[in-house]
Amino acid sequence: MTQVLTHSYRENERLTKENLKLKDTVVSLKQNNSALNGRVRVLTSENQKLKETIELKEQIIEELKHEIAHLNALQNHNGTNTGQPTAKTKIGGKKIIPNSRRSSGKVKGGQKGHPKYSMSAPESTDENEIEEHVSSVCPKCESTSIVEYGEPIIKNEYDVRIRVVKVKHVFYGYKCTDCGRIFHMTIPLNLKENAQYGNGVQAMILSLINSDNVPINKIASFFDGITGGNITPSEGFIAKVQGRFAVSLETFVDDLRLYLIQQSLIYWDDTVIFVNTKRACLRFYGDEKISLYKAHEHKDFQSLQDDEVLHLLTNKNKVMHDHNKVNYNSQFVFENLECNQHLQRDLQKNTDDIHHTWSSELKIYISTTIFQRKEMIAQGATEFPSDKINEFYNTVDSYLELGQKEHEKDIGKYGADFENALLLRIKKYQKNYFSWVEDFSLPTTNNLSERALRGIKSHQKISGQFESIKASQNFANVKSYIETCRKSGINEIMSLQRLAQGKPYTVAEIFKT
């Protein structure tokens, strides 16, 4: 029994010792596990940071890809896919001049077989001067014994010579012997000073400022040069001439506006100008015979209302523009026409930026249809056949469907946002873009407005800015008068001389209304 107890006691001690060792092992394992957990947490944190770094780098890579695509697109932008003027063509690049004309294949200049054009000699009654070229000595032997021989050779010359005219106006006084009234001849308003510059000088000043974009200081030196120093108007006088006659044209401009809103088709556009270093707006309204300009401090809806043109139009009027969304304001009831040249530029830009085929093919289709229309107009047609009209719209729809499929494959790619907006715009405004398919009397582009505003860009390049909003409004008034007269075949200098006399052409005179 004692032996059994002893064995049990020893076994118990052994198990106790093993248990203690196991406890130590467990403690050690727990410590190791805790260290491993800590290491796992550190590695997890580092892994998360690495993931974030990778994601950031991937984001940067994508942004750089977009930036490269953007720069490549800008590198390829020109007059065919944006409104970029040819003057901004990069150095060494080929100037792209958008033109809808088709090449005839003929060489430039006079054509083979065509008669040579020569100026005709003036009628004898028109000759102002005769300059005789005579000789008193023989060029060979220097003898003075020479006589006229044969018929003289006649050469004619057309030239311009500046002659300063100093006019003294004498206004006599009278006394009526019947009633005793004393009076003198009425002095015109343009002769209020004892001495002043005449209508010819002032008309030329207005022409140089508003048509030729000549700076004020250059105008003074120009007159000094062509008159041999006899006439040198001060810069202050030149500036006052513009302002004085612009004010006298306010009635003309308002009458022109009232005449304009009676026209069935009106073109309009606006451009940014600078007034005393701040952005402002110059706006054009008109057609083939009317040019109305308006200047404003801000390019906004309020300035459109102040012009009193668009909101006075009815649903019988049509307005051509460059997708100015303001034209679709609920306050306006006229019919909108969209410029196809701007649309074709946008289609070309989309093709160049994202390299999808739908936009290039649609551009070609529109251009081809416009050319077909021109040929039919030349043959006396006024519209396409109904089946051709249906075919046109169905074809446009098919290109838009193709465009949607191509777009969905490249969402997120550079240019995709522009493409999506372009697709939506064409779908929404399809009728406004393509009314010319159904009615040949409607224009396809807003080029008339573009040409009208092109001159102001040259003015800005030379003068930089207008000194005040009033100066820009003066420019708009005089420009409206000059261009409207010119469109009706009235000589510019003659029209400005009448303006300087205080008797400008009226709208009723110009249009015989």
Phi, psi of 182 (to 5 degrees): -105, 130
pLDDT reported for residue 449: 93
CB 292 within 8 A of CB 477: no
- What stretch of H or E contains 373? helix 357-378
User: Does some domain include residue 321?
Assistant: no
Q: Is residue 506 part of a domain?
A: no
- Give the Cα separation of 208 and 106 in Å (integer): 37
User: pLDDT, tens digit, for every residue of 400-446?
Assistant: 999 999 999 999 888 899 999 999 999 999 999 999 999 999 999 99
Q: Check residue 433 and give its pLDDT.
A: 97
- Owner of token pair 């009815």: 314
- The residue from 414, 437, 460 where one domain ends is 437
Place of tokens 């020109």: 78
Strands (E), 108-185: 173-175, 182-184
**Domain range enclosing 362:** 340-437
Domain boundary among the residues 53, 77, 101 is at: 77
Q: Is residue 43, in this structure, part of any structural domain at all?
A: yes
Helices (H) and strands (E) in the chain, counts: 15, 7
* 371 within a domain of the structure (yes/no): yes
Q: Is residue 369 part of a domain?
A: yes
The answer to whether the beta carbons of residues 462 and 213 sit under 8 Å apart is yes
Measured CA to CA, the distance from residue 434 to residue 443 in angstroms comes to 10
The verdict on residue 420 lying in a domain is yes
Give the sheet arrangement for strand 278-286, strand by strand: 291-296, 278-286, 265-275, 318-321, 335-338
Which residue has 């008159």 as its token pair? 227
Q: How many Å apart are CA 288 and CA 290, to the nearest integer?
A: 6
Q: Domain for residue 215, yes or no?
A: no
Q: Is residue 259 part of a domain?
A: no
Domain C-terminal end among 437, 466, 487: 437
User: What pLDDT is recorded for position 42?
Assistant: 87
Q: How many domains does the chain have?
A: 2
CA separation, residue 99 to residues 255, 345, 352 (Å): 35, 12, 19
Which mean pLDDT values do the consecutive 10-residue runs of the chain (513 residues) have? 70 80 83 85 88 84 69 62 57 58 64 74 77 91 90 88 90 93 89 90 94 90 92 91 93 97 96 92 96 95 95 95 93 96 94 94 96 95 94 97 94 90 96 96 94 86 85 95 96 95 94 82
Q: In this structure, what are the phi and psi dihedrals at residue 282, rounded to the nearest 5 degrees?
A: -120, 130
Q: Which residues contact 245 (CB under 8 A, 6 or more apart)?
A: 202, 206, 478, 499, 500
Predicted pLDDT at 26? 84
DSSP string, 241-262: HHHHHHHHTHHHHHHHHHHHTT
Cα–Cα distances in angstroms (integers) from residue 213 to residues 220, 234, 291, 324, 469, in the given order:
14, 18, 18, 28, 18
Query: Which positions ≥6 away from 241 have C-beta within 8 Å?
Result: 202, 205, 206
Model confidence pLDDT, tens digit, residues 198-222: 999 999 999 999 999 898 889 999 9
Nearest Cα neighbor of 158 from 120, 124, 205 is 120
β strands within 192-334, DSSP E: 265-275, 278-286, 291-296, 318-321
So what's the pLDDT on residue 403?
95
Q: How much is the pLDDT for 109?
A: 65
